[in-house]
Amino acid sequence: MTPDVPRTAASPATDAAAALLLALVERGVSHVVLSPGSRSQALALVAADLERQGRIRLHVRIDERVAGFTALGIGRESRMPAAVVCTSGTAVANLLPAVLEAHHSGVPLILLTADRPPELRGVGANQTTRQPGLFAPNVRFDADVATPDEVDDHGTAAQTSALRTLAGEALDAALGGGGRPAGPVHVNLPYREPLAGELPPWLAADAASAADDAPDPDADAREGEDASGALYQGGGGIGDADQPEPESAPLVLPRGPRTVVIAGADAGPAAEALAHVGGWPLIAEIVSGARFGRHVVHGYRALLRRDDLGGAVERAVVFGHPTLSREVTALVSRADVDVVAVGGPGEPLNLNGATRTVDAVAVAPEGVDRDWLGTWMRASHDAAVDLAPRAPDAAGLASAVPHERLGAIAAEMAVLRAPVDRAALVDAVWRATWPHDRLVFGSSRLVRVADTVLGGKKVPVHANRGLAGIDGTIATAVGVALAAQAAGARGVTRVLLGDLATLHDVGALLIPPGEDEPRLQVVVGNDGGGTIFDGLEVAAVAGADAMRRVLYTPHAVRLEQLALAYGWEYHRVTTRSALDQVLTAPVGGRQLIEVPLER
């Protein structure tokens, strides 16, 4: 039997929560990710009412870490921050991994953390710690808000006005105001009891006109789409909103130095546009969103190790955050290379101590160094890998000669029954993904395989490479899918990751019934543990027992049972033909696709 809980007619906490959330919504915030708790109940009830009015999309997650990464995925795709609501204590601390990734990747994110009032801090009160400043080194804006003490009957009181101003300052900071890149902000909200009351009548006022004034998500520009433009800015990635003009004049890159364009994580299409106009080789990581066009370099790792190619580079123009190869890191760390980093949403690059960071670049009009470009393109052609399954022998299958027809049939059956290795897995996912889809790479061994073997293709790509952690990958993909669908995207979101990254974020599989269903394929390459360590230095010094005990993290988890327990459709595929079939079949909801791999 539910105990009777007194409910007051009015609550300063509820009025304050309404003022803050409504102001954020009126300024364009359309997603709220919430983890339930007692101290945050005013924020939760206001969010529920805004969802009822059709003014926000509300996503409820029991795990704050999952909530944080779900909001991160929404911000990654839409370039507008989602608001994350949680209660006090350890709930707030669980947001730290997502905050760190948002900080280093430059993803907008708004934390609304409920708290006990100041008089309860440091005196042993339950579920209370020092929340103000908890994220201070990693947020663009940090506010410990005054505890509300009044009820606003008309939405015009000083408390409401101050909170509306605060909402504007927090949103501006999250979007990159004040000369800083986009990133997370923290608004700490202490509340006294009563923690909830009747919702203020002005919360529902003029809801229809607010909906009419909402921004059109289809009006978002795609930075760098026009390769004929003279200005190339950083800040790339998928779903960019209109970007402001750079604060300073663009750096004009003169012809002459032997130049390569490097596209790291979140570089976006501007990197390809610059390489195209400049006539320079494009070294684009698979997570860059720039691996397309005529100047993409295949097999770039080996080519960077060559004296006549990588050793001859005199200038590198870098977009995004390169993290996937030691060869690129070595190049941009060289003192004899002029490194120009085009400022983007993430942490500034300066590995050689003399990197020039600029807001934008332009290209001098003189001619292209065709010898330099040609040398790279010929080497790239020779290094390209064709992973497509062999086409059927049509002539043999139609032959009247028995041994010719039987041989063709045997060859075709061998193709159909061929087991899936890592290269075939990443190739199948890449081939199945198109511009109307989204592809999220986890920080697993598979992303490095993909970076090594996959060719160029213009598809929307996401990856949490700010800190390259394995945490939050599925939750991020869920956020990407939800934001893409909310903006009208018709395609599927696929996330490709390893078994350990899957298990690390298994809580993200829990999505409440009745919420928006993401069109999502979670593709898991399962080799039974962390084989990425096989390629690191530790494999040469550690014994087999130690490697297995403290690095591989072996497991015997049955992913089918996990998927079914959380209500996901499950597929286990062992051949390339079966994998192609499941990846390209119509997707109406959530699928977990397990692909067993050899260790």
Least confident span in 137-151, 475-489, 522-536, 559-573: 522-536
Q: In degrees rounded to 5, what are phi and psi of residue 391? A: -65, 150
For residue 536, pLDDT over 80 is answered with no
For residue 541, pLDDT over 80 is answered with yes
As a CATH number, domain 418-596 is 3.40.50.970
pLDDT tens track for 43-84: 999 999 999 999 999 999 999 999 999 999 999 999 999 999
For residue 2, pLDDT over 50 is answered with no
Q: So what's the pLDDT on residue 156?
A: 87
For residue 353, pLDDT over 50 is answered with yes
Sign of CA dihedral 382, 384, 390, 391: negative
Q: So what's the pLDDT on residue 248?
A: 66
For residue 94, pLDDT over 60 is answered with yes
Contacts of 408 (CB under 8 A, 6+ apart): 392, 393, 395, 396, 397, 399
Q: In angstroms, how far is CA 299 from the centroid of its own chain?
A: 25
Whole-angstrom distance, CA of residue 286 vs CA of residue 451: 5
Q: Which of 230-239, 381-390, 426-435 shows the highest mean pLDDT?
A: 426-435
530 vs 560 pLDDT, higher one: 560
Question: Partners of 362 in the beta sheet?
Answer: 252
Q: So what's the pLDDT on residue 413?
A: 72
Q: So what's the pLDDT on residue 416?
A: 72
Whole-angstrom distance, CA of residue 157 vs CA of residue 155: 6
Ranges of CATH 3.40.50.970 domains, the chain: 12-214, 418-596
- Its pTM stands at 0.90
Residue 477 — pLDDT band, cuts 50, 70, 90? very high
105 closest CA partner among 300, 270, 238, 219? 238
For residue 241, pLDDT over 50 is answered with no
Is-contact 302 260, C-beta < 8 A? Answer: no
Q: So what's the pLDDT on residue 386?
A: 81
Helices (H), strands (E): how many in the chain?
21, 20
Q: So what's the pLDDT on residue 299?
A: 96
| CATH fold for the domain made of 12-214 | Rossmann fold (3.40.50)
As a CATH number, domain 232-383 is 3.40.50.1220
For residue 435, pLDDT over 80 is answered with yes
Q: Is-cis flag, bond preceding 389, omega within 30?
A: no
DSSP 76-105: HHHSSPPEEEE-STHHHHTTHHHHHHHHHH
Q: So what's the pLDDT on residue 347?
A: 83
Q: So what's the pLDDT on residue 237?
A: 55
